[in-house]
Protein backbone atom coordinates (compact mmCIF):
# COMPACT_ATOMS: atom_id res chain seq x y z
CA UNK A 1 0.00 0.00 0.00
CA UNK A 2 1.39 3.38 -1.05
CA UNK A 3 0.45 6.99 -0.43
CA UNK A 4 -0.20 8.56 -3.83
CA UNK A 5 -0.94 12.17 -4.72
CA UNK A 6 -2.60 12.73 -8.10
CA UNK A 7 -2.46 16.26 -9.49
CA UNK A 8 -5.58 17.21 -11.44
CA UNK A 9 -9.18 16.03 -11.10
CA UNK A 10 -9.91 15.88 -14.80
CA UNK A 11 -10.96 12.74 -16.64
CA UNK A 12 -7.54 11.10 -16.57
CA UNK A 13 -6.65 12.28 -13.06
CA UNK A 14 -9.81 10.91 -11.46
CA UNK A 15 -9.61 7.68 -13.44
CA UNK A 16 -5.98 7.15 -12.43
CA UNK A 17 -6.87 7.87 -8.80
CA UNK A 18 -9.76 5.39 -8.81
CA UNK A 19 -7.66 2.63 -10.36
CA UNK A 20 -4.90 3.08 -7.78
CA UNK A 21 -7.33 3.37 -4.86
CA UNK A 22 -9.09 0.16 -5.93
CA UNK A 23 -5.74 -1.58 -5.54
CA UNK A 24 -5.54 -0.49 -1.89
CA UNK A 25 -3.36 2.60 -2.22
CA UNK A 26 -4.20 5.74 -0.22
CA UNK A 27 -4.86 8.34 -2.90
CA UNK A 28 -5.38 12.10 -2.67
CA UNK A 29 -6.33 14.15 -5.71
CA UNK A 30 -5.46 17.86 -5.69
CA UNK A 31 -7.50 20.12 -7.97
CA UNK A 32 -7.53 23.91 -8.10
CA UNK A 33 -10.94 24.23 -9.80
CA UNK A 34 -14.32 23.85 -8.02
CA UNK A 35 -16.47 20.72 -7.84
CA UNK A 36 -19.37 20.00 -10.22
CA UNK A 37 -22.37 22.20 -9.26
CA UNK A 38 -25.09 19.56 -9.01
CA UNK A 39 -27.24 19.20 -12.13
CA UNK A 40 -26.12 22.45 -13.78
CA UNK A 41 -22.76 21.19 -15.04
CA UNK A 42 -23.17 22.51 -18.59
CA UNK A 43 -24.34 26.00 -17.68
CA UNK A 44 -22.64 26.64 -14.35
CA UNK A 45 -19.47 24.59 -13.99
CA UNK A 46 -16.37 26.70 -14.54
CA UNK A 47 -13.14 24.80 -15.28
CA UNK A 48 -10.49 27.39 -16.23
CA UNK A 49 -7.85 24.69 -15.85
CA UNK A 50 -9.30 22.74 -18.80
CA UNK A 51 -9.16 24.83 -21.97
CA UNK A 52 -11.24 22.35 -23.99
CA UNK A 53 -13.94 21.98 -21.32
CA UNK A 54 -16.79 23.35 -23.44
CA UNK A 55 -15.54 22.09 -26.77
CA UNK A 56 -16.75 18.98 -28.62
CA UNK A 57 -15.81 15.56 -27.31
CA UNK A 58 -16.30 12.04 -28.60
CA UNK A 59 -15.64 9.07 -26.35
CA UNK A 60 -13.96 6.48 -28.54
CA UNK A 61 -14.74 2.75 -28.37
CA UNK A 62 -11.22 2.14 -27.02
CA UNK A 63 -12.05 4.27 -23.95
CA UNK A 64 -15.36 2.45 -23.57
CA UNK A 65 -13.70 -0.97 -23.77
CA UNK A 66 -10.95 -0.09 -21.30
CA UNK A 67 -13.43 1.50 -18.89
CA UNK A 68 -15.83 -1.46 -19.06
CA UNK A 69 -12.93 -3.70 -18.09
CA UNK A 70 -11.49 -1.51 -15.34
CA UNK A 71 -14.28 0.69 -13.93
CA UNK A 72 -17.64 -0.41 -15.39
CA UNK A 73 -19.57 1.65 -12.86
CA UNK A 74 -18.26 4.79 -14.59
CA UNK A 75 -19.99 3.72 -17.80
CA UNK A 76 -23.17 3.01 -15.83
CA UNK A 77 -23.00 6.43 -14.18
CA UNK A 78 -22.48 8.14 -17.52
CA UNK A 79 -25.54 6.44 -19.01
CA UNK A 80 -27.58 7.33 -15.92
CA UNK A 81 -26.42 10.95 -16.30
CA UNK A 82 -27.78 11.15 -19.84
CA UNK A 83 -24.77 9.95 -21.82
CA UNK A 84 -25.72 8.65 -25.23
CA UNK A 85 -24.96 4.99 -26.02
CA UNK A 86 -24.05 4.53 -29.65
CA UNK A 87 -22.14 2.29 -31.99
CA UNK A 88 -19.85 3.96 -34.52
CA UNK A 89 -20.73 1.38 -37.18
CA UNK A 90 -24.42 0.85 -36.42
CA UNK A 91 -25.12 4.59 -36.51
CA UNK A 92 -24.03 4.76 -40.17
CA UNK A 93 -26.54 4.24 -42.99
CA UNK A 94 -26.80 0.62 -44.10
CA UNK A 95 -25.76 1.62 -47.61
CA UNK A 96 -22.41 2.71 -46.10
CA UNK A 97 -21.80 -0.05 -43.54
CA UNK A 98 -23.69 -2.99 -45.01
CA UNK A 99 -25.45 -5.50 -42.71
CA UNK A 100 -24.35 -5.41 -39.08
CA UNK A 101 -21.92 -8.09 -37.87
CA UNK A 102 -21.39 -9.66 -34.45
CA UNK A 103 -17.90 -8.15 -34.39
CA UNK A 104 -19.36 -4.66 -34.65
CA UNK A 105 -20.01 -4.69 -30.89
CA UNK A 106 -16.39 -3.62 -30.49
CA UNK A 107 -17.47 -0.19 -31.75
CA UNK A 108 -19.87 0.42 -28.85
CA UNK A 109 -19.38 3.55 -26.77
CA UNK A 110 -21.22 6.12 -24.64
CA UNK A 111 -20.61 9.78 -25.32
CA UNK A 112 -21.54 13.17 -23.86
CA UNK A 113 -20.41 16.76 -23.56
CA UNK A 114 -17.23 17.16 -21.52
CA UNK A 115 -18.88 18.62 -18.37
CA UNK A 116 -21.32 15.70 -18.27
CA UNK A 117 -18.51 13.20 -18.84
CA UNK A 118 -16.36 14.63 -16.10
CA UNK A 119 -19.23 14.99 -13.62
CA UNK A 120 -20.04 11.29 -14.05
CA UNK A 121 -16.43 10.29 -13.41
CA UNK A 122 -16.31 12.64 -10.40
CA UNK A 123 -19.48 11.09 -8.96
CA UNK A 124 -17.96 7.60 -9.01
CA UNK A 125 -14.66 8.92 -7.64
CA UNK A 126 -16.55 10.46 -4.74
CA UNK A 127 -17.85 7.02 -3.78
CA UNK A 128 -14.47 5.27 -4.05
CA UNK A 129 -12.98 4.03 -0.80
CA UNK A 130 -9.44 5.18 -0.10
CA UNK A 131 -9.76 8.20 -2.42
CA UNK A 132 -9.93 11.82 -1.28
CA UNK A 133 -10.47 14.71 -3.70
CA UNK A 134 -9.38 18.14 -2.46
CA UNK A 135 -10.85 20.93 -4.58
CA UNK A 136 -9.49 24.47 -4.51
CA UNK A 137 -5.98 23.17 -3.83
CA UNK A 138 -3.40 24.91 -6.00
CA UNK A 139 0.02 23.30 -6.42
CA UNK A 140 3.11 25.53 -6.30
CA UNK A 141 5.76 22.87 -6.87
CA UNK A 142 7.25 19.65 -5.58
CA UNK A 143 9.07 18.89 -2.34
CA UNK A 144 12.14 16.66 -2.37
CA UNK A 145 14.27 14.50 -0.13
CA UNK A 146 17.27 12.21 -0.36
CA UNK A 147 17.07 9.74 -3.22
CA UNK A 148 18.97 6.72 -4.49
CA UNK A 149 20.76 8.47 -7.35
CA UNK A 150 23.37 11.17 -6.69
CA UNK A 151 22.32 14.48 -8.16
CA UNK A 152 18.82 13.25 -8.99
CA UNK A 153 16.06 14.81 -6.87
CA UNK A 154 13.61 12.43 -5.24
CA UNK A 155 10.10 13.87 -5.05
CA UNK A 156 8.47 13.31 -1.66
CA UNK A 157 5.28 15.31 -2.16
CA UNK A 158 3.98 18.65 -3.36
CA UNK A 159 3.91 22.21 -2.06
CA UNK A 160 0.59 24.04 -2.14
CA UNK A 161 0.01 27.65 -3.04
CA UNK A 162 -1.33 28.29 0.48
CA UNK A 163 2.02 27.27 1.97
CA UNK A 164 1.09 23.75 3.00
CA UNK A 165 2.61 20.49 1.82
CA UNK A 166 1.18 17.08 0.98
CA UNK A 167 3.59 14.14 1.37
CA UNK A 168 3.51 11.17 -0.99
CA UNK A 169 5.34 7.99 -1.88
CA UNK A 170 4.47 8.80 -5.49
CA UNK A 171 3.24 11.96 -7.21
CA UNK A 172 1.26 11.46 -10.43
CA UNK A 173 0.97 14.52 -12.68
CA UNK A 174 -2.37 14.54 -14.50
CA UNK A 175 -2.64 18.30 -14.94
CA UNK A 176 -2.95 18.04 -18.70
CA UNK A 177 -1.39 20.01 -21.52
CA UNK A 178 -0.73 23.00 -19.28
CA UNK A 179 1.41 20.95 -16.89
CA UNK A 180 4.18 22.90 -15.18
CA UNK A 181 6.17 19.77 -14.44
CA UNK A 182 9.30 20.91 -16.27
CA UNK A 183 9.59 24.15 -14.30
CA UNK A 184 8.77 22.41 -11.01
CA UNK A 185 11.59 19.93 -11.56
CA UNK A 186 14.21 22.46 -12.63
CA UNK A 187 13.28 24.55 -9.57
CA UNK A 188 14.52 21.69 -7.34
CA UNK A 189 17.72 21.16 -9.33
CA UNK A 190 16.60 18.45 -11.75
CA UNK A 191 17.57 18.31 -15.38
CA UNK A 192 14.77 19.40 -17.64
CA UNK A 193 12.73 16.50 -19.04
CA UNK A 194 13.35 15.57 -22.65
CA UNK A 195 10.53 16.01 -25.05
CA UNK A 196 9.15 16.80 -28.45
CA UNK A 197 6.89 19.70 -29.26
CA UNK A 198 5.12 20.56 -32.51
CA UNK A 199 2.68 23.39 -33.00
CA UNK A 200 -0.37 21.38 -33.97
CA UNK A 201 -1.51 24.27 -36.13
CA UNK A 202 -5.25 23.61 -36.00
CA UNK A 203 -8.06 25.99 -35.08
CA UNK A 204 -11.49 24.75 -33.98
CA UNK A 205 -14.67 26.73 -34.57
CA UNK A 206 -17.38 24.80 -32.73
CA UNK A 207 -21.05 25.12 -31.87
CA UNK A 208 -23.38 22.99 -29.77
CA UNK A 209 -27.01 22.37 -30.73
CA UNK A 210 -30.03 20.59 -29.35
CA UNK A 211 -33.37 19.27 -30.60
CA UNK A 212 -36.16 16.97 -29.39
CA UNK A 213 -35.51 13.26 -29.58
CA UNK A 214 -37.56 12.88 -32.75
CA UNK A 215 -35.55 15.58 -34.56
CA UNK A 216 -32.00 14.47 -33.89
CA UNK A 217 -29.76 14.82 -36.97
CA UNK A 218 -29.36 11.77 -39.15
CA UNK A 219 -25.83 10.36 -39.33
CA UNK A 220 -24.85 10.17 -43.00
CA UNK A 221 -21.11 9.55 -42.67
CA UNK A 222 -18.30 9.19 -40.16
CA UNK A 223 -17.80 11.81 -37.43
CA UNK A 224 -14.54 13.22 -38.88
CA UNK A 225 -14.69 14.34 -42.51
CA UNK A 226 -11.86 15.92 -44.51
CA UNK A 227 -12.55 18.46 -47.25
CA UNK A 228 -10.60 21.03 -49.24
CA UNK A 229 -9.19 23.57 -46.74
CA UNK A 230 -11.05 22.27 -43.66
CA UNK A 231 -12.36 19.28 -41.76
CA UNK A 232 -15.74 18.79 -40.11
CA UNK A 233 -16.62 17.03 -36.87
CA UNK A 234 -20.24 16.01 -36.25
CA UNK A 235 -20.56 14.55 -32.76
CA UNK A 236 -23.66 13.23 -30.98
CA UNK A 237 -23.80 14.01 -27.26
CA UNK A 238 -26.10 13.82 -24.22
CA UNK A 239 -29.64 15.01 -23.51
CA UNK A 240 -30.54 15.57 -27.16
CA UNK A 241 -27.49 17.73 -27.84
CA UNK A 242 -24.69 17.48 -30.35
CA UNK A 243 -21.66 19.43 -31.52
CA UNK A 244 -20.30 20.50 -34.88
CA UNK A 245 -16.75 21.75 -35.31
CA UNK A 246 -15.11 23.28 -38.35
CA UNK A 247 -11.37 22.60 -38.15
CA UNK A 248 -8.90 24.70 -40.15
CA UNK A 249 -5.20 25.44 -40.31
CA UNK A 250 -4.07 28.29 -38.07
CA UNK A 251 -2.14 29.59 -41.10
CA UNK A 252 -5.36 30.10 -43.04
CA UNK A 253 -6.13 33.67 -42.06
CA UNK A 254 -8.97 33.92 -44.55
CA UNK A 255 -10.99 31.34 -42.62
CA UNK A 256 -10.80 33.23 -39.33
CA UNK A 257 -14.11 34.82 -40.30
CA UNK A 258 -15.67 31.54 -39.10
CA UNK A 259 -15.78 33.19 -35.66
CA UNK A 260 -18.92 34.93 -36.93
CA UNK A 261 -21.96 32.64 -36.39
CA UNK A 262 -23.56 33.80 -39.63
CA UNK A 263 -20.42 32.97 -41.63
CA UNK A 264 -20.09 29.65 -39.78
CA UNK A 265 -23.66 28.70 -40.65
CA UNK A 266 -23.25 29.75 -44.27
CA UNK A 267 -20.17 27.57 -44.65
CA UNK A 268 -21.65 24.49 -42.97
CA UNK A 269 -24.66 24.69 -45.30
CA UNK A 270 -22.38 23.93 -48.28
CA UNK A 271 -21.53 20.39 -47.09
CA UNK A 272 -24.37 17.98 -47.95
CA UNK A 273 -23.40 15.26 -45.47
CA UNK A 274 -23.25 17.66 -42.53
CA UNK A 275 -25.40 20.71 -43.33
CA UNK A 276 -28.47 19.41 -41.50
CA UNK A 277 -26.50 19.16 -38.23
CA UNK A 278 -26.67 22.96 -38.01
CA UNK A 279 -29.89 23.67 -39.90
CA UNK A 280 -32.67 25.34 -37.94
CA UNK A 281 -35.15 24.16 -40.57
CA UNK A 282 -34.21 20.60 -39.59
CA UNK A 283 -34.77 21.38 -35.90
CA UNK A 284 -31.27 22.37 -34.77
CA UNK A 285 -31.36 24.98 -31.99
CA UNK A 286 -27.96 26.58 -31.24
CA UNK A 287 -27.10 26.58 -27.53
CA UNK A 288 -23.72 28.28 -27.95
CA UNK A 289 -22.11 30.82 -30.19
CA UNK A 290 -18.94 29.89 -32.04
CA UNK A 291 -16.38 28.69 -29.50
CA UNK A 292 -12.81 28.95 -30.74
CA UNK A 293 -9.82 26.98 -29.53
CA UNK A 294 -6.33 27.41 -30.97
CA UNK A 295 -2.69 27.41 -29.92
CA UNK A 296 -2.71 23.64 -29.56
CA UNK A 297 0.44 21.54 -29.57
CA UNK A 298 1.42 17.94 -30.16
CA UNK A 299 3.76 17.43 -27.23
CA UNK A 300 5.41 14.63 -25.28
CA UNK A 301 8.05 14.40 -22.57
CA UNK A 302 10.29 11.81 -21.00
CA UNK A 303 11.49 11.80 -17.41
CA UNK A 304 14.33 9.41 -18.28
CA UNK A 305 17.01 11.21 -20.28
CA UNK A 306 20.17 9.58 -21.63
CA UNK A 307 19.36 6.48 -19.65
CA UNK A 308 18.83 8.12 -16.25
CA UNK A 309 15.77 9.58 -14.51
CA UNK A 310 15.72 13.37 -14.15
CA UNK A 311 13.84 12.78 -10.90
CA UNK A 312 12.29 9.89 -8.98
CA UNK A 313 9.05 9.67 -7.02
CA UNK A 314 7.04 11.29 -9.81
CA UNK A 315 5.41 10.23 -13.10
CA UNK A 316 3.32 12.02 -15.74
CA UNK A 317 0.19 10.42 -17.17
CA UNK A 318 -2.12 11.29 -20.06
CA UNK A 319 -1.97 14.82 -21.45
CA UNK A 320 0.63 15.81 -18.84
CA UNK A 321 2.90 13.30 -20.60
CA UNK A 322 1.74 13.92 -24.17
CA UNK A 323 -0.98 15.89 -25.96
CA UNK A 324 -2.40 15.36 -29.43
CA UNK A 325 -4.80 17.01 -31.85
CA UNK A 326 -8.30 16.82 -30.31
CA UNK A 327 -9.97 16.45 -33.73
CA UNK A 328 -9.09 12.77 -33.60
CA UNK A 329 -10.62 12.45 -30.13
CA UNK A 330 -7.85 10.22 -28.80
CA UNK A 331 -6.75 12.07 -25.66
CA UNK A 332 -9.20 10.44 -23.25
CA UNK A 333 -8.46 6.96 -24.58
CA UNK A 334 -4.68 7.39 -24.49
CA UNK A 335 -4.97 8.80 -20.96
CA UNK A 336 -6.96 5.77 -19.79
CA UNK A 337 -4.52 3.34 -21.41
CA UNK A 338 -1.68 5.19 -19.67
CA UNK A 339 -3.47 5.08 -16.32
CA UNK A 340 -3.90 1.33 -16.61
CA UNK A 341 -0.22 0.96 -17.50
CA UNK A 342 0.65 2.74 -14.25
CA UNK A 343 -1.82 0.63 -12.26
CA UNK A 344 -0.28 -2.59 -13.53
CA UNK A 345 3.25 -1.37 -12.89
CA UNK A 346 2.46 -0.46 -9.28
CA UNK A 347 1.24 -4.00 -8.77
CA UNK A 348 4.74 -5.15 -9.68
CA UNK A 349 7.04 -2.39 -8.37
CA UNK A 350 6.82 -0.76 -4.94
CA UNK A 351 7.23 3.05 -5.09
CA UNK A 352 9.91 2.63 -2.41
CA UNK A 353 12.06 1.24 -5.22
CA UNK A 354 11.90 4.69 -6.81
CA UNK A 355 14.66 4.33 -9.39
CA UNK A 356 13.27 1.05 -10.71
CA UNK A 357 9.78 2.52 -10.89
CA UNK A 358 10.99 5.55 -12.86
CA UNK A 359 12.87 3.42 -15.37
CA UNK A 360 10.14 0.82 -15.78
CA UNK A 361 7.41 3.42 -16.22
CA UNK A 362 9.44 5.06 -18.97
CA UNK A 363 9.91 1.67 -20.65
CA UNK A 364 6.27 0.57 -20.54
CA UNK A 365 5.09 4.02 -21.61
CA UNK A 366 7.39 3.86 -24.63
CA UNK A 367 6.17 0.36 -25.47
CA UNK A 368 2.41 0.69 -24.92
CA UNK A 369 1.45 4.37 -25.02
CA UNK A 370 3.96 6.14 -27.24
CA UNK A 371 2.96 4.24 -30.41
CA UNK A 372 -0.58 5.57 -30.06
CA UNK A 373 0.77 9.09 -29.61
CA UNK A 374 3.16 8.88 -32.56
CA UNK A 375 0.48 7.50 -34.86
CA UNK A 376 -1.66 10.52 -34.01
CA UNK A 377 1.16 13.04 -34.44
CA UNK A 378 2.04 11.59 -37.85
CA UNK A 379 -1.57 11.99 -38.96
CA UNK A 380 -1.57 15.60 -37.73
CA UNK A 381 1.58 16.49 -39.66
CA UNK A 382 0.24 15.07 -42.91
CA UNK A 383 -3.14 16.72 -42.53
CA UNK A 384 -1.56 20.10 -41.80
CA UNK A 385 0.63 19.73 -44.88
CA UNK A 386 -2.47 18.83 -46.89
CA UNK A 387 -4.25 21.98 -45.65
CA UNK A 388 -1.17 24.04 -46.50
CA UNK A 389 -1.34 22.65 -50.02
CA UNK A 390 -5.02 23.61 -50.25
CA UNK A 391 -4.13 27.14 -49.18
CA UNK A 392 -1.22 27.51 -51.61
CA UNK A 393 -2.89 25.78 -54.53
CA UNK A 394 -0.07 23.21 -54.75
CA UNK A 395 -1.51 19.81 -53.71
CA UNK A 396 0.45 18.03 -51.00
CA UNK A 397 2.39 14.96 -52.06
CA UNK A 398 4.53 12.68 -49.92
CA UNK A 399 6.49 9.47 -50.30
CA UNK A 400 5.23 8.21 -46.92
CA UNK A 401 3.46 4.91 -47.65
CA UNK A 402 1.51 5.24 -44.42
CA UNK A 403 -0.22 8.40 -45.61
CA UNK A 404 -0.85 6.87 -49.02
CA UNK A 405 -2.58 3.98 -47.27
CA UNK A 406 -4.58 6.37 -45.10
CA UNK A 407 -5.85 8.22 -48.16
CA UNK A 408 -6.60 4.96 -49.97
CA UNK A 409 -8.52 3.65 -46.95
CA UNK A 410 -10.61 6.84 -46.81
CA UNK A 411 -11.51 6.48 -50.47
CA UNK A 412 -12.11 2.74 -50.20
CA UNK A 413 -14.56 3.28 -47.33
CA UNK A 414 -16.91 4.94 -49.80
CA UNK A 415 -17.38 1.68 -51.67
CA UNK A 416 -16.31 -1.15 -49.36
CA UNK A 417 -17.84 -2.12 -46.01
CA UNK A 418 -14.66 -3.83 -44.79
CA UNK A 419 -12.77 -0.59 -45.38
CA UNK A 420 -15.39 1.28 -43.32
CA UNK A 421 -14.64 -1.01 -40.39
CA UNK A 422 -10.88 -0.83 -40.86
CA UNK A 423 -10.94 2.95 -40.83
CA UNK A 424 -13.21 3.04 -37.80
CA UNK A 425 -11.01 0.54 -35.99
CA UNK A 426 -7.90 2.70 -36.55
CA UNK A 427 -9.73 5.89 -35.66
CA UNK A 428 -11.08 4.28 -32.48
CA UNK A 429 -7.59 3.10 -31.41
CA UNK A 430 -8.78 -0.50 -31.48
CA UNK A 431 -6.09 -1.43 -34.01
CA UNK A 432 -3.07 0.12 -35.67
CA UNK A 433 -2.46 0.32 -39.43
CA UNK A 434 0.45 -2.06 -38.97
CA UNK A 435 -1.85 -4.68 -37.49
CA UNK A 436 -4.57 -4.31 -40.11
CA UNK A 437 -2.29 -4.20 -43.13
CA UNK A 438 0.27 -6.81 -42.08
CA UNK A 439 -1.22 -9.07 -44.74
CA UNK A 440 0.04 -7.76 -48.13
CA UNK A 441 -3.15 -9.01 -49.80
CA UNK A 442 -5.30 -6.80 -47.55
CA UNK A 443 -3.07 -3.79 -48.08
CA UNK A 444 -3.05 -4.36 -51.85
CA UNK A 445 -6.82 -4.62 -51.97
CA UNK A 446 -7.28 -1.32 -50.12
CA UNK A 447 -4.74 0.43 -52.34
CA UNK A 448 -6.52 -0.89 -55.43
CA UNK A 449 -9.92 0.27 -54.16
CA UNK A 450 -8.53 3.72 -53.40
CA UNK A 451 -6.54 4.12 -56.60
CA UNK A 452 -7.57 7.05 -58.72
CA UNK A 453 -9.99 8.44 -56.14
CA UNK A 454 -10.18 12.23 -55.80
CA UNK A 455 -8.18 13.85 -53.05
CA UNK A 456 -11.40 14.68 -51.22
CA UNK A 457 -14.00 12.05 -52.13
CA UNK A 458 -16.90 13.41 -50.02
CA UNK A 459 -19.20 16.04 -51.55
CA UNK A 460 -18.33 19.62 -50.68
CA UNK A 461 -17.00 22.82 -52.21
CA UNK A 462 -13.46 23.40 -53.39
CA UNK A 463 -11.58 26.31 -51.88
CA UNK A 464 -13.11 28.83 -54.28
CA UNK A 465 -16.60 27.63 -53.36
CA UNK A 466 -15.74 27.75 -49.67
CA UNK A 467 -14.57 31.36 -49.88
CA UNK A 468 -17.67 32.28 -51.85
CA UNK A 469 -19.83 30.82 -49.09
CA UNK A 470 -17.95 32.91 -46.54
CA UNK A 471 -18.60 36.05 -48.55
CA UNK A 472 -22.32 35.36 -48.52
Q: What is the pLDDT of residue 50?
A: 85
Alpha helices in 152-247 (DSSP H): 181-187
Architecture, CATH, for domain 202-294+466-470: 2-Layer Sandwich (3.30)
Please check the confidence at residue 199 and state whether its pLDDT lies above 70.
Answer: no
| pLDDT tens-digit readout, 390-423 | 999 999 999 999 999 999 999 999 899 999 999 9
User: Cα dist. 447→117, 177, 384, 404, 417 in Å?
Assistant: 38, 37, 23, 8, 15
Domain with CATH 3.30.70 in the chain: 202-294+466-470
| Residue 85: band (very low, low, confident or very high) from pLDDT cuts 50, 70, 90 | very high
Q: What is the CA radius of gyration of the chain?
A: 23
Q: Is the pLDDT of residue 200 over 80?
A: no
464: exposed, middle or buried (Cβ count in 10 Å: 0-12, 13-18, 19+):
exposed
* CATH match for 1-83+112-198+296-368 among 3.40.50.2020, 3.30.1330.200, 3.50.50.60, 3.40.190.10: 3.50.50.60
Asked whether 196 and 305 are in contact (CB, 8 A), the reply is no
Residues 246-273 have pLDDT tens digits of: 999 999 999 999 999 999 999 999 999 9
Query: What are the residue ranges of CATH 3.50.50.60 in the chain?
Result: 1-83+112-198+296-368
Q: Which helix (H) or strand (E) holds 183?
A: helix 181-187
Is the pLDDT at 197 greater than 80, yes or no? no
The H-or-E segment that residue 146 falls in is: none
Instruction: Report the alpha-carbon distance of residue 173 to residue 72 in Å, rounded.
Output: 24
Amino acid sequence: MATVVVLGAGMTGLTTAMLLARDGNRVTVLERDPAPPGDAVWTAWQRPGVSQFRHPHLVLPRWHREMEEALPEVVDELVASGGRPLNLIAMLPERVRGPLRDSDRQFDTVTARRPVLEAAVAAVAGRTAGLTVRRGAGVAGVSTGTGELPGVPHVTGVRLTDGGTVPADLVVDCTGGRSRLGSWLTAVGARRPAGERDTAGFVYYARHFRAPADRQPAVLTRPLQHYDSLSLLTLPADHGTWAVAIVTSSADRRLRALRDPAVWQSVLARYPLAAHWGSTTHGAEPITGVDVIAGLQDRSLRLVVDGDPVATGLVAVGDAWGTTNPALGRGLSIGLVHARVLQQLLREVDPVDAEKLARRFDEVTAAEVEPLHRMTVASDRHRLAELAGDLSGVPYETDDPGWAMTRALTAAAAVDTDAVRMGTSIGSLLATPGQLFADPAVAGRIMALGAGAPRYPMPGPDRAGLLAAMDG
